[in-house]
A and B are shown apart, each in its own frame.
Chain A
Amino acid sequence: MAEQPMLAVAGVTTFYGAIQALHGVDLEVARGEIVALIGANGAGKSTLLMTICGSPRASGGAVRLDGEDITALPTHEIVRRGVAQVPEGRRIFPRMSVFENLQMGATLGVPAHFAHDLERVFTMFPRLAERRDQRGGTLSGGEQQMLAIGRALMSRPRLLLLDEPSLGLAPLIVRQIFEVIGRIAREEGVTIFLVEQNAYHALRLADRGYVLANGRVRLSGAGRELLANAEVRAAYLEGGHA
C-alpha cells in the first residue's frame, strides 16, 4: 500500500490473564475503507477491537493510527485521536437517558457542534428522538444498537469500530443498521472497521474482509471475493443468513 494505512495492526498478541486470545494478528484499514472482520464465537474479534482501544493492552506487536504507535496509550488518549467504538453488548449507560448517553458520546466533541450532531443522529434514527428522555436500560435491543452507533458518532470519529452491530436483532433492523453504516462511510467519509458473525451482511457491505480464527488471521481479500470463498461459505454462511 503506497498510502499510509489509517489503522495498522502488526503482530498483535493479547492475553486475558494466562489465556492468549490473539496470536500475532496483522491487518490494515485504509482511510475511507469499510473493512469487515469475520469469525466464529471466541475467535478473538472483540478482543482485537478492544486491544486497538488499549483495553486490554497488547502484550506484543503494535497498533498504529496514522503511523503513530498507540499501543501503550491509555484508552481515553487513543479515542481522543479520533477513534470511536460501538462495543460488544452495546454498553449503553442503563441509568442515563438517551439524551445523556448521546451527551456522553460528545465527551470529546466540540461543544459548538453538539446541537448539529444531535440533530444528525436524530435524523438518522428518528426512534431515538422519540425516546430522548427514556432511560437507556429500558430500550429494546435495536434501539440500544441505534443509540450505541449514535453515541459513537457524536465525537465525529475518523475511525469507527463496530462490534457485532447485528447481534440479536430482528432481520429488518439488521438491514436498517447496515444501511446506516454504509451511509456513514459513504456520506461522511468515516473509515469503518466492522466485526461480525453475520458474514453475509458484513462482507456484502465491506470493501475488504479478514477472517479470524483462533486468534489468527486466516484469510483476507475483497468482500465479494470472501463471500464466494468455499471455506468462508462452509464455515460462516451455511445454515442461512439474515
Chain B
Amino acid sequence: MAYFSQQLINAITLGAIYGLIAIGYTMVYGIIGMINFAHGEVFMIGAFISLIGFLICSMLGIGSAPVAIVLVLLMAMAFSAVYGWAIERTAYRPLRGSFRLAPLISAIGVSIALQNYVQLTQGARPKPGGQIVSGGFNLFSADGFDVRVTWLQIIIVVVTILLMAGFTWLIARTSLGRQQRACEQDMKMASLLGVNVDRTISLTFVLGAALAAVAGMLFLMYYGVIDFFIGFLAGIKAFTAAVLGGIGSLPGAMLGGLLIGLIEVFWAGYFSSEYKDVAVFAILVLVLIFRPSGLLGRPEIEKV
C-alpha cells in the first residue's frame, strides 16, 4: 500500500508534465489537423530557457525560490511562445493548402534543426540545473516504507492544475477561445464572421508553446538534468497522451497525460523500468488499433 501510494504520487507528477505538453499537440491538431512534431523541441527549449533563467536569477541574487520560479516561468513562457509563433510562421504557414504530408515533413525538419541548434549553442553534454526547491514531508509510513511528497511535486501539480484550469476557462469562456473553437470547427465560416484565421492559428501555437515551456521548467526542476535531446522522448510520450485522450480534445489531453504518467511509473515500479517506454508506446499502438478516436475524442464521422 505504501509502495503503491508512493508510485501514485510520482505518477501524478509525471502525468502533469506530459499533460501540459499534450495540450499543445491536441490544440494544433484541432485547428489545422497536423501533428506538430516540433512541439517536443519547444518543450526542450523551454527547459533550456528556464535553466538560463534560474542562472540569471542566482546571478542577480534572487534568493527566494517562489520569486525565482515565477520570474523564470514567465520568461520561459514568453520566449518559448516566440519560438512557437516563429515555427508556425516560417515552417507551416507557407505550406498551408499544400498536400497533407508537407507540413508534417516540415515539422520533422524543424525538430531536427532545433535539436542541432541547441546542441551547438548549449553543448551536447547534460546540463545540471541545481536544486531550486528541496525538502518535503512524510505522508505516512507503512510496511517499513515512508510515503513522501516533496514540495517540488506539490508545486508541479499545483502549477499544472492552475494552468489547465486557466486554459480551459480561456477556451470555454472568452471570445478569444470561442474564435479558436470556431476556427477548429469551420475555418471558412469563422473567417466569414470576421475572425482573422491566421492570427488565431498563430495564437494556438503561442499558447501551446507557452504551456510546453512550463512543462520544460517543471521537468528541469524535477529531474535536475536536461540535454538537447529530452524533447524527443517527452514529446512522443505527450503525443501518445494526446492520442490516448483523443486528439483534438482538450480534457482528453489532460486525462491522457495523467494516464501515460500512471502507466509509465507503475510499469517501472512493478515490472521493469527498462521497459517503461515500451509500455507507453504499446498503449499508443493499442489505442490506434482499437480506439483511434481516443478516450474523449470524437469519432471521425459526424452528422452535419
Contacts and interface: CB of A to CB of B under 8 A. Distances in A.
B239 to A, nearest CB: 23
B193 A80 contact: no
Contacts of A100: 178
Contacts of A76: 191, 194-197
Interface residues of A, number: 25
A108 B192 CA distance: 10
Contacts of B190: 104
B60 interface: no
A55 interface: yes
- Greatest chain A CB density within 10 A among B190, B194, B197 is at B194
B189 interface: yes
A103 B175 contact: yes
Contacts of B178: 96, 100, 103-104
Contact of A95 (B181, B192, B194, B197): B181
Contacts of A93: 181-182, 185-186, 189
B118 to A, nearest CB: 36
Contacts of A108: 193-194
A96 B182 CA distance: 8
Given A93-B185, A96-B182, A87 B175 contact: no
Given A103-B175, A137-B302, A55 B188 contact: yes
A85 B190 CA distance: 11
Nearest to A53: B192
A94 interface: yes
| Smallest CB-CB A-B distances: 6 pairs | A108-B194, A75-B191, A91-B189, A107-B194, A93-B185, A107-B193
30 contacts: A55-B188, A55-B191, A55-B192, A75-B188, A76-B194, A76-B195, A79-B191, A84-B192, A87-B188, A89-B304, A91-B188, A91-B192, A93-B181, A93-B189, A94-B185, A94-B304, A95-B181, A95-B185, A96-B181, A96-B185, A104-B178, A104-B182, A104-B190, A104-B193, A105-B193, A107-B194, A107-B195, A108-B193, A108-B194, A137-B304
Given A76-B191, A107-B175, 4 more contacts: A79-B193, A85-B192, A91-B188, A93-B181
